[in-house]
Structure 1
Amino acid sequence: MRKPREPKLRQLDEHAFLRRLDPILQVYAAAMRPPGEQLPGRHSIMQRHTTYPRFRAFVVERPRSLPGLPGSVRGFAYGFHGESGQWWHDVVRRALTERGGPEHAAYWLDDAFEVAELHVHPDDQGHGHGRALLNALCEGRLETTVVLSTLDLDRESPARRLYRSVGLRDLLTDFDFPGGGPPYAVMGGTLPLAPYPAGSSSS
């Protein structure tokens, strides 16, 4: 039996992203394990995000050369330029303003690349795919800062270590977004990203 071919990093435009939205959502579900009733709403949110300014997306995708594989998309990441009127942007701006004042919020969000999602299927974690996705996503961006939110259940999770390794730091911790759910950390850094430390092996 031939071994499955190694997944490859591929950039997607808005149309290619939408064509892969179902397998992308399967990776999201496997990585985040949300209640099933939340997935249709997440599908709609991801569709809407493709209309945001300067949208950019990448997938880690296994070529479709073998029948019976569980899915070709093994990881994905996307983001866009943050602007007033976007839900996440406005919620975080209010929180940063309360925490450090309007100048603090403006520094991080006035010219920010917002990483909306970055996930690798649990079966494919530990091979550097998350690092490759983040690096490709942020490479060459013209914004001044990069910001994102990630689960704040474990400060030493692979995701938190990955983000710290490229210069991101905590802006908000134990943060509850409106609508309920687990606590998040909001992290931010300057662009371009700091080089990865030698020997880094985050997912």
Structure 2
Amino acid sequence: MIQLRRVGPDTFITVIDTVLDIYTEAMRPPTDQLTGRLAIMRNHATHPDFVCLLAESPDIVGFAYGFHGAPGQWWHDVVRRALQDQAGPGAAQRWFGDALEIAEVHVRPDYQGKGIGRSLIHAICEGRPERTAVLSTHDAPTAARHLYGDIGFVDLLTRFVFPGGYENYVIAGVPLPLPPQR
């Protein structure tokens, strides 16, 4: 049985090696990117209203984390500017003016397809004061993209390439609170 445990930045940092292992299993990034990813995760833990959910059985098999998006955060500034350029300042303010930015949602491959990712997303959004939740995912017909759409996330930007990157992403958002989990 999977249990979800809500943790703050201090506990997140103590399990960050396990979190990075799960990220690596799920995403299979080039090995030379892992040191940078670890630094990014550590930095994310310093953002306002950081929250992490760990899926445990009894070991950690998945995680999701996010924080309140704010000017001065790299992802927030890059994506908000792109949405403003494409859809105008009103759209950028609606989606990013008061947003929970879901930075990572990953589940070990052996545990995928069992509703853990869905439960993590619902739990991380539960009780949040923000008006919206936003995230990025690969712009491809992946299981993750299907899951986000099924939960209610809508595409805000498609074929988005982050500065210095080469892969296409979708920036998606959903109003909060989420509808009840099915």
Q: Could you state the TM-score of these two structures normalised by the residue count of structure 1?
A: 0.87
TM-superposed deviation, 1:196: 3.6
Q: Which runs of 4+ in 1 moved over 4 A?
A: none
- Of 151, 155, 172, 2:138 maps to 151
Partner of 1:79: 66
Partner of 1:35: 30
CA contact (8 A) 1:166 1:195 kept: no
Partner of 1:114: 101
TM-superposed deviation, 1:30: 0.7
Partner of 1:67: none
CA contact (8 A) 2:55 2:62 kept: yes
Letter in 2 for 1:169: V
Partner of 1:13: 8
Can you list the C-alpha shifts for 1:146-168, whole angstroms capped at 9, x where unaligned? 100011122xx221121112221
Partner of 1:168: 153
Unaligned runs of 5+ in 2: none
**Secondary structure in 1 matching 2:29:** coil
Identity of aligned residues (%): 52
Letter in 2 for 1:110: G
CA contact (8 A) 2:122 2:181 kept: no
Q: How does 1:189-200 map to 2 (within 5 A)?
A: 189-197=174-182
- Of 160, 171, 177, 1:186 maps to 171
CA contact (8 A) 1:165 1:196 kept: no
Q: Distance in 1 between matches of 2:115 and 2:91?
A: 33
Q: Distance in 2 between matches of 1:151 and 1:74?
A: 22
Can you list the C-alpha shifts for 1:48-69, whole angstroms capped at 9, x where unaligned? 1111001010111232xxxxxx
CA contact (8 A) 1:9 1:60 kept: yes
Aligned residues: 182
Greater share of helix residues, 1 or 2?
A: 2
TM-superposed deviation, 1:7: 3.4
Can you list the C-alpha shifts for 1:1-38, whole angstroms capped at 9, x where unaligned? xxxxx332111111111010001000001111110010
TM-superposed deviation, 1:131: 0.7
Partner of 1:68: none
